[in-house]
Structure 1
Amino acid sequence: MTALFDFDERYKGGARAFLVSVNFSQNDDSGSLEELKMLAISSGAEIVGILTCTRSSPDPKYFIGSGKAAELKSQVEFWDGETVIFNHELSPSQERNLEGLLGCRVITRTALILDIFADRARTREGKLQVELAQLGYLETRLVRGWTHLERQRGGFGLRGGPGETQLEYDRRLLKERVNTLRRELAVVEKQRDQGGRARSRRGLPVVSLVGYTNSGKSTLFNTLTNADVYAADQLFATLDPTLRTVTLPRTGKTVFADTVGFIRELPHNLVAAFKATLREARESDLALMVIDSGDEDMKEKIASVEEVMEDIGAGSVPVLKVYNKIDRIPGISPHVEHDSSGMPCAVSISGKEKLGIDLLLQAISERLGRDRVCLELCLPPDAGALRQRLFEMGAIDSESYDDIGCDHLRITHSLTELARLSARFGGDLERFVTVPAGFRFHKESWED
């Protein structure tokens, strides 16, 4: 019964696909259809035709109505289509009716996204989350025609009641697999939580890159961190989060996190399944919202990203907007925009051409540097416990010793955390500060 959970049986990348999109409002739906095309291409499908229509409400039997369904059937047969992809959610009965009429596979936008996610997931956590989302989607469509395998009688003799049907058996297997996946995910999430707590103890600020898929997040991440994350001009080129540490001028060691790209009307079961993966965005100190500055639907996509941020519990995270790909727009040069308080709120750059990266790093440092200080300390030989704690926090930028054994440290860290540390050591940290001279921690700077 392992084939029950093989989602690739329903759709295989590379198939000859026919796209269907229905407009239920007076608004232009071309952006959503264009996105469906990009999703299909990203999955490897060959688009052989597109059917669009306008309706006031879905048809109960075929979703698009019997007339349009007949037209779709003739078009699919003419172009030898292997799969029909709807830009909408279909009920299980609508899906079965369409498959019976068209004689080919019928999948929805959600199933297509799940297929792409399954193909791109690389880490164990990502694969587990994708399979869990797939099974949640499959559960509502679990209808089998294997009635010949059902136990028609149960118990002893001929008077026993009906036994377990094939559908019941499939549902039981699915439920068992879902429970197994959840247990395995709990272990993986616990390990990720431990890593997050370790970074928190060290006081390292976290900057997450979020944004609409294909906005250039991974390319910018590679530029900022000198990483080699896969980047391509396609939707969901990368799925699993990647973390790298970068030393910034004012904030010291900073963790940068590249996350999965967002998309409009992201299926809720995907949002639920990937909450653990997206915790980097939810728990970051600053979110870089990467935006394709040349996209005609830029405002709508910004709204979609903000909506997903709310869904995953990251709505309160401070945001610095990064208008990417300015190299594609004539007459625009790298620049920084400031809010009413004088803090950077938006930066225009090109991650691919490395234009304005210095401005972006400066803006990040300013946004994170509100609560960070750079100090020079002179610790006597008997202050080993304090030195060890500073190392554990990741606060030490450089270290040297003089002729009498004193330890000269240059540290960069959160003012709040350093004030708390100084209080634990009876104010010793304050006494050892040499630069800036006369530095003092104020009570209000560390009180909760």
Structure 2
Amino acid sequence: MNDELKGEVTRGARALVVYPQMRGPRGERNDLDPEARLEEARGLALAIGLEVVEAVAIVIREARPGTLFGEGQIQNISTACTLNEAELIIVDGSLSAIQQRNLEEKLKRKVIDRTGLILEIFGERAATAEGRLQVELAHLDYQAGRLVRSWTHLERQRGGFGFLGGPGETQIEADRRMIRDRMAKIRRELEQVRRTRGLHRDRREKAPWPVVALVGYTNAGKSTLFNRLTGASVMAENLLFATLDPTMRAIRMPGLEKAILSDTVGFISDLPTELIAAFRATLEEVTAADVILHVRDIANPDTEAQKRQVLDVLADLGVIQPPLDDRKARQAPALDWSDDEPDDEPEPQVPIIEVWNKWDLLDPDQAHELREVSMHREGEVIVPVSALTGEGCDALLDIASRNLTRDSRIYSFVLPVADGQRFAFLHARGEVVSEEDAGEGEQGPQMRLEVRLSEREFGRFKAL
């Protein structure tokens, strides 16, 4: 490989984006629209400071095992690189190690695939020790199968563009051993993180405050909505994967003294499996949520395809069930779909509220049409909001609160005034509807309270 491929690629590097549009024997296509996919790839490149000089979709009817693309297509890519002076080629799809190496040899330029690019973004954005561990584990998992052409010295602490540059190792067996040892160490550290997170969750259960998790496609506006609802100042920019590390804040909701709102990493189509595995500890916050707010960029023309991608990831995590038709075909390790399980008896699911964000970007006709659509979506809870202006946020909190308290009922209690512990519990965990003097009792003055409590809270009250 020539010296050009051995140099570092830094911010501002000129990149050509190629989207391999796979076609089936009948030309069927179930992925995002090619233009939307190219626009998303531009956003990914921008998120890591690359300059996209051109983005093209190339139809592939039969993938070549050695190069993915045909010889004529490779020549067209090379010509486009020469004309645009591109020094990096981003293939917006998955490449095997052999395909990547062969393309680099033929094109005389660095080549990275979608997984490598997303891992780069995660590596640059992770801010906490946990986030950095998760990213490094995903990097090493990805790297382990690519020692035919290592990306960087494994002894060196990663500092940004580990996939985009670096001289590479030659001692493959030593590399593999180093990778295995490091991955084992990271997994042990992440297991400790999981245990700590579990303890925190147990504490919240005892508190107990319900957890509301924000999920959604990357750049849907989750962090902006999080800031609007909590008054926090989490990084919220028009960038893909602006948020990586989970953030949790307490918020007040109608009928509840407190709830915990959790902002999570954004999902994306073809999210690398290495990342899903590495970030499972973080995403466990979603699986433990009492209500999920699925934030959608309703102004995005590809919003329906983005919704499907998010629901696919949630199904893989075991948060929701996949559609009945997909249960046998889908590989979902977090779920156990046994053959004798009745198909018409779905397991209880976490309530999901669809938050149609960026409503302020719609013109009046679009807004009217979407309101009509939302009114005819049976079985779905939809709330139009603008996280930027605050429109609809009060209604969202009200609906979320009703979902959190939907199994609640009003109980009547007569308590001694001196029973401060139980008074505090009812005021903190329930909605006190009325409170009045109940006269004298065996333990002195008493109060009668009418309190709305969930079954879980009523059970905890009885245990006091």
Normalized against structure 1, the TM-score is what?
0.79
Structure 1 residue 330 corresponds to structure 2 residue 335: no
Corresponding position: 1:245 with 2:281: no
Tell me the distance in 2 between the aligned counterparts of 1:228 and 1:220: 11
Paired residues of 1:251 and 1:412 also in contact (CA < 8 A): no
- Whole-angstrom distance in 2 between the partners of 1:219 and 1:206: 18
State whether residues 42 and 55 of structure 2, in contact with CA within 8 Å, keep that contact through their aligned partners in structure 1: no
- Where 1:122 maps in the other structure, the secondary structure is coil
SS in 2 for 1:54: strand
Rounded to whole Å, the distance in 1 between the matches of 2:450 and 2:135 is 42
In 1, distance between residues paired with 2:386 and 2:235? 17
Map 1:99-178 to 2 at 5 A: 99-143=104-148, 166-178=171-183
Please, which of 416, 421, 429 is the counterpart of residue 460 of structure 2? 421
Residues 410, 187 of structure 1: alpha-carbon distance in 2 compared, 3 angstrom cutoff: farther
- Whole-angstrom distance in 2 between the partners of 1:75 and 1:411: 73
**What displacement does 1:375 show?**
7.2
The equivalent residue for 1:352 is 388
Partner residue in 1 for 2:89: 84
Q: Post-superposition shift, 1:396? A: 7.5
Alignment of 1:150-299 (within 5 A): 166-299=171-304
1:197/1:339 CA distance change after superposition, 3 Å: farther
Aligned residue for 2:14?
16
Distance in structure 2 (CA, Å) of the matches to 1:203 and 1:289: 23
Displacement of 1:125 in angstroms is: 1.1
Structure 1's 173 and 397: CA in aligned 2 closer, same or farther, altered over 3 A? same
Contact 2:38–2:57 (Cα < 8 Å) also in 1: no
Cα drift, residue 377 of structure 1: 6.5
Whether contact under 8 Å (2:22, 2:59) holds in the other structure is yes
SS at match of 2:258: strand
Question: 2:389 is aligned with what amino acid?
Answer: E
Structure 1 runs (4+) deviating above 6 angstroms are 333-336, 338-341, 374-378, 404-413
Is the Cα contact below 8 Å between 1:203 and 1:394 reproduced in 2? no
Once residues 144 and 363 of structure 1 are traced to their aligned partners in structure 2, the CA distance between those partners, rounded to angstroms, is: 53
Alpha-carbon separation, structure 2, partners of 1:374 and 1:127: 47
Q: How far, CA to CA, are the matches of 1:344 and 1:136 in structure 2?
A: 38
What is the SS of the residue equivalent to 1:287? strand
Q: How many Å apart are 1:201 and its aligned residue? A: 1.4
Structure 1 CA distance for aligned equivalents of residues 260 and 371 of structure 2:
24
User: Is the deviation greater in 12-21 or in 367-376?
Assistant: 367-376
**Alignment match of 2:416 (pick from 350, 358, 380):** 380
Identify if the C-alpha distance between structure 1 residues 326 and 385 changes in structure 2 by more than 3 Å, giving closer, same or farther: closer
Q: Is the 8 A contact 2:256 2:429 kept in 1?
A: no
Once residues 318 and 270 of structure 1 are traced to their aligned partners in structure 2, the CA distance between those partners, rounded to angstroms, is 25
Structure 1 pair 414–99 and aligned structure 2 pair: CA distance change class (3 A): farther
SS of 2:148's equivalent in the other structure is: coil
* Structure 2, unpaired ranges of 5+: 1-5, 151-169, 321-348
Aligned length: 395
Deviations 1:313-372 (A, max 9, x none): 21132111111111111223897967899x981111111011111111111111112134
- State the one-letter code of the partner of 1:362: D
Q: Helix, strand or coil for the counterpart of 1:69?
A: helix
CA shift, 1:119, in A, is 1.0
Please tell me the residue identity of whatever aligns with 1:353.
T
Measured in 2, the distance between the counterparts of 1:39 and 1:291 equals 18
Structure 2: how far apart are the matches of 1:283 and 1:306? Answer: 16
Q: How does 1:300-311 map to 2 (within 5 A)?
A: 300-311=305-316
8 Å Cα contact 1:20-1:87 kept in structure 2: yes
Q: Determine helix, strand or coil for the equivalent of 1:289.
A: strand
Q: 1:376–1:252: structure 2 CA closer, same or farther, 3 Å change rule?
A: farther
Tell me the CA shift for residue 21 of structure 1.
1.5
| Aligned AA (1:193) | G
1:13 is displaced (CA, Å) by 3.9
| CA distance in 2 between partners of 1:109 and 1:43 (Å) | 13
Q: Verify the 8 A CA contact 2:256 2:401 in the aligned structure 1.
A: yes
Preserved CA contact (<8 Å) 1:207 1:256: yes
Asked if structure 1 preserves the Cα contact closer than 8 Å seen for 2:293 and 2:354, the reply is yes
Query: Which structure has the bigger radius of gyration?
Result: 1
Q: Deviations over 1:205-226 (max 9, x none)?
A: 1111111111111111111111
- Give deviations 1:390-410, integer Å, cap 9, x for gaps: 39x953889x9x9x9969798
What is the TM-score of this pair, normalised by structure 2? 0.77
Following the alignment from structure 1 to structure 2, what is the Cα–Cα distance between the partners of residues 180 and 108? 27
CA distance in 2, matches of 1:258, 1:385: 32
Deviations 1:391-440 (A, max 9, x none): 9x953889x9x9x9969798977422333234435xxxxxxxxxxxxxxx
- What residue ranges of structure 1 are gaps of 5+ in the alignment? 1-7, 146-164, 426-448
Q: Output the CA distance in 2 between the equivalents of 1:409 and 1:239.
A: 48
Q: Distance in 2 between matches of 1:22 and 1:255?
A: 42
Q: In the alignment, which residue of structure 2 is the partner of 1:156?
A: none
Greater shift after overlay, 57-66 or 112-121? 57-66
